[in-house]
Amino acid sequence: MKALGRHLLIELYDCDSKILADVKKVEEIMVEAAKATKARIVDVIFHNFKPHGVSGVVVIAESHLTIHTWPEHNFASIDIYTCGAKIDPWQAYHLLRKRFRTKKLTALEIKRGVL
């Protein structure tokens, strides 16, 4: 089955809440994850919500990585959408699970643009 893109839907549970609340740390980890896939970073935008949470996007030439955190619940949801045969979104997944210190997670891959 030929697909234009691969989309990972990741949910991280029981993460380190201090990391999830730190907008600079979350941004650093997400940029590191994009680099792990060998993607070309185009733009990076992150926002710290009050009283809790971080949302952000790493725009890559091959699509994007996004995150929303709920530090008060030790939870984060992440999307990794990549296009092209050379980019492996699972490389980012492995980095993210370690760096956010998750104890439980789920991941689902969806093929996008199935031709």
pLDDT tens, the chain, 115 aa long: 688 999 999 999 999 999 999 999 999 999 999 999 999 999 999 999 999 999 999 999 999 999 999 999 999 999 999 998 889 999 999 999 999 999 999 999 999 999 8
**Do the domain assignments include residue 11?**
yes
**58 domain-assigned:** yes
Q: How many domains does the chain have?
A: 1
Q: What is the pTM of this model?
A: 0.95
Q: Domain with 8 in it: what CATH number?
A: 3.60.90.10
What residue numbers bound the domain in which 60 lies? 3-102
Identify the pLDDT of residue 86.
87
Query: Does a structural domain hold residue 15?
Result: yes
Instruction: Kindly report the number of other CB atoms within 10 A of residue 86's CB atom.
Output: 10
Token pair in block for residue 34: 């994009």
Burial 30-47 (b: 16+ CB within 10 A, else e): bbebbbbbebeeeeeebe
Catalytic (active-site) positions: 63, 68, 83
Closest CA relative to residue 89, chosen from 56, 68, 50, 60: 60
pLDDT at residue 84, rounded to an integer: 86
Instruction: Report if residue 48 sits inside a domain.
Output: yes
Residue 18 lies in a domain: yes
